[in-house]
Amino acid sequence: MKRVIIFANGELTEPQTVRARLRVDDTLIAADGGARGCLALGLTPHLVVGDFDSLTADEVAGLRPRGVLIEQHPPGKDETDLELALLAALRLGATDIALLGAAGGRLDMTLANLLLLTHPALAGVRVAVWHGTQTAWLIRPPGAEVRGAIGDTLSLIPLSGDAGGVTTHGLRYPLRGETLAFGPARGVSNVLTEATARVELRSGLMLAVLTKGKAQ
């Protein structure tokens, strides 16, 4: 299994938590200005992708002597830098991808970054967003296990319409073959009562957000 870590150009929170989750065999990709976050952790990206409107020419030039591969795209591209980085990870054979710095001050970019999880090209790949002690990923039919700790907070948010036939195991507020409607926030802030919970899903698509401990 090949794991790729992608550094986006958003907020890189809780660096100690990030370091603890990284492995020595991870392939590191930076989406444009995400290279700064990678370097701030004392790491060198293997590849930097983007139109380089967030990095200065000197910063880009400083990456080359480190052996960093540079993939530059024109400013008028249709994709965001993060989307290009995700596609680059697929070309490298990634089967497991984690995104760092995908959330930040711009609401539009944060939302767009989260919705990139639904990109058709990523359907067969595990992709997660790491943000501090929070992890977000997609749950598709027939469902998935949720591994955490008792007391962790889990939110289930329907995407692209209603989520049908939702059944949960190991959560404080159970669902039994029910529908989570697109829009209402019924699935927010559930709690794990077992270290390994399970969410079953007959139709639709859900964004799962796991927060360690009790979410504030």
Residue 44, C-beta contacts closer than 8 angstroms, at least 6 positions apart: 28, 38, 66, 67, 68
- d(C-alpha 89, C-alpha 64), whole Å: 20
Residues 148-162: pLDDT tens digits?
A: 999 999 999 999 899
**Structure confidence at residue 76 (pLDDT):** 84
Q: What is the pLDDT of residue 82?
A: 96
How many Å apart are CA 190 and CA 200, to the nearest integer?
Answer: 15
What six digits make up the tokens of 67?
A: 């052996």
Tokens of 105: 């001050």
How many Å apart are CA 102 and CA 79, to the nearest integer?
15
Amino acid identity for residue 105 in this structure: G
- Please give the structure tokens belonging to residue 172: 């404080």
Q: What is the pLDDT of residue 104?
A: 79
Distance CA 165, CA 67 (A): 50
Tokens coding 57: 């020419």
In this predicted structure, the answer to whether residue 1 has a pLDDT above a threshold of 80 is no
Return d(Cα 131, Cα 109) in angstroms, integer: 15
pLDDT tens across 85-133, in order? 999 999 999 999 999 999 877 899 999 999 999 999 999 899 999 998 9
Give the domains, in start order, of the chain with CATH numbers.
3-132 (3.40.50.10240), 138-211 (2.60.120.320)
